[in-house]
Structure 1
């Protein structure tokens, strides 16, 4: 890694990769994870999801929680391996149990959507809450959304968490607040609020918010 970053030595990434390869083949889990990252992103190597999956697998089986998350994502997306939601959920759970924040968020999402198994609101709320407590802004949106769903419907908590996510520039939270206002989830429709949130979401790059904004502006016109 000194050669990779040029710390104390002349930067030489070819040499760095050679040493990482040696360390990885000798069983060093951090080297295996870093090689996985290099192959996944094409850092000084020909990009290869298959090779990335191989090295993430080696590191994950040695307890590397970040590699567990990467494996879960590979299985979820079907990159470097056949898509398998059950295995995605398995590896997200393994990472989450070791405190890997993004694993917590995506495991909660699996439970929320019933991906790789049954939908389970109790587990979704548990893992979203853990992820938020660990600093995941992304999970804040999904926690707010979960509180809009039955049987544990709690509109006050839903609004609190969605607004928290929106304050942290989470465009999907802005979009959901816009939908809430436009469709009157908890009462009358509030078109002015809907326009506000859809505009904020569009400014943050949310495409579907742009469509809803255009529809509302067309109706007003």
Structure 2
């Protein structure tokens, strides 16, 4: 009965997997660990768009402003002077020695670790204009190391160091302007300092600048400029920049479409554990885009992403178990993964889980629960769910049979790409149910449906006649609709025709 999505076009009846998610939430990184300059960020994406039951759906990218990471200078071997000599030089007012002594206390190298002592020596060097000390002093104030957190003081020292072209300070002050911590929130100032940091090679700044151009953040959206900065960050190993760049190559946004490049960057990000990239790589393997089709590899990467909580991958894996696509058919496993995805708000998973309840697959048959899940997905605009609700009104399942209400839901579904509502609308006009019979209008909707090449609606209408669901049972009418579905490529309909012929 019900409909899901397929890779590019969904249908009411057969459930589907997701191919591209149009919305997402992204979290980048923030440089804040003393003695290290972390690479990479954290992006979280939510799925919104659907596709058909044969092909899985790619995960999406970010829309919200990522969380930033702030940086600090690590000590270097060249700075490890004899402690006594260093102390003497620091006492004598040498700002570099004061800075290095502060670093010793900060890291506990040759002395007992002490944030208070580190602050003391950093401040002395910073007061003498030593840029590295100004920067680290800013970090100590920013993170409350040796002193209470004081963003205004942190901003003061970052700004001084940034003015001396300390790239990490330029990045960190941009973060404070973004977040409005210690300074008034100012996206223009944030962008100014971020660009300076990015131009000096700070990977976090490159990623965030690319993100701003990609999704809008103080600048006009510009995919070409976004691709430029994502490439620079990706080349430095930023996993989420690699993922974003892969998406741009995959869909030809800001760069020429190139599936081979997309696979390359999805692969790099996937190897670094980015679940969205793992799921998208799974889709590439499933579809044979940019590489040789390989169902085993597809399922390997899909499972990795699903186990990390990627909701789109969970839906795709659940549907694979339902269909026995590359794995042994297992309805209990299908329900497990679909329920996880549905719980994260993935509407296609809510619809797919509804199908499981409707058909009693992996769970006890429960039509009211199926309708509840369909309504949940439909409320968020899922066309498959709208189509499935319409079909329940046609057949009088859970709800009282109501062709007018069915038409309302089918029309809502027809506004979405990829579902079989057009077949149902055509049938209602042909039969004059809920509307005045109108052969011309019926023919129009059948043409629309045939143009979408989705035979599941034909199969479902045939099944309705065969089982007498909402209409008088009629084997001849069932054969008529099964024959149309079979000609359109629906294998199940061909099998049903053979079965009926054998009776």
Query: TM-score, normalised to structure 2's length?
Result: 0.40
Give a deviation string over 1:79-104, Cα, whole Å, max 9, x none.
Answer: 11122222222211110101112111
Matched, 1:173 2:349: yes
Determine which of 123, 130, 135 is the counterpart of 2:297: 123
Give a deviation string over 1:110-156, Cα, whole Å, max 9, x none.
Answer: 22333333332222222122212223222211111222233422323
Match of 1:133 in 2: 307
Structure 2: distance between partners of 1:168 and 1:4: 29
For structure 2, the residue ranges without an aligned partner over 5 or more in a row are 1-174, 402-503
Shift of 1:216: 2.9
Structure 2: distance between partners of 1:184 and 1:176: 12
Structure 1: distance between partners of 2:189 and 2:372: 53
Structure 1: distance between partners of 2:354 and 2:255: 38
For structure 1, the residue ranges without an aligned partner over 5 or more in a row are none
Match of 1:42 in 2: 216
Tell me whether 133-142 or 18-27 shows the greater mean CA deviation: 133-142
- Of structures 1 and 2, the one scoring higher in RCO (CA 8 A, sep 6+) is 2
Structure 1: distance between partners of 2:343 and 2:195: 43
Give a deviation string over 1:15-39, Cα, whole Å, max 9, x none.
Answer: 2211111111111111110100111
Secondary structure of the corresponding residue to residue 267 of structure 2: helix
**Measured at CA, do residues 151 and 66 of structure 1 come closer, stay the same or move farther in structure 2, by a change above 3 Å?**
closer
Determine which of 49, 56, 65 is the counterpart of 2:239: 65
Does the aligned pair in 1 maintain the 2:335–2:356 contact within 8 Å?
no
Determine which of 378, 382, 385 is the counterpart of 1:202: 378
Structure 1: distance between partners of 2:309 and 2:391: 35
Determine which of 72, 82, 86 is the counterpart of 2:256: 82
Secondary structure of the corresponding residue to residue 293 of structure 2: coil
Does the aligned pair in 1 maintain the 2:320–2:326 contact within 8 Å?
no
Does the aligned pair in 2 maintain the 1:112–1:146 contact within 8 Å?
no
Matched, 1:103 2:261: no
Secondary structure of the corresponding residue to residue 290 of structure 2: coil
- Higher helix proportion (structure 1 or 2): 1
Secondary structure of the corresponding residue to residue 107 of structure 1: helix
Structure 1: distance between partners of 2:192 and 2:374: 50
Match of 1:149 in 2: 324
Determine which of 211, 217, 221 is the counterpart of 2:393: 217
Aligned length: 219
RMSD: 2.4
Match of 2:196 in 1: 22
Structure 2: distance between partners of 1:113 and 1:28: 36
Does the aligned pair in 2 maintain the 1:3–1:9 contact within 8 Å?
yes
Give a deviation string over 1:23-82, Cα, whole Å, max 9, x none.
Answer: 111111111101001111221111101101110011001101010010111112221112
Secondary structure of the corresponding residue to residue 81 of structure 1: coil
Shift of 1:218: 2.0
* Greater Cα radius of gyration, structure 1 or 2: 2
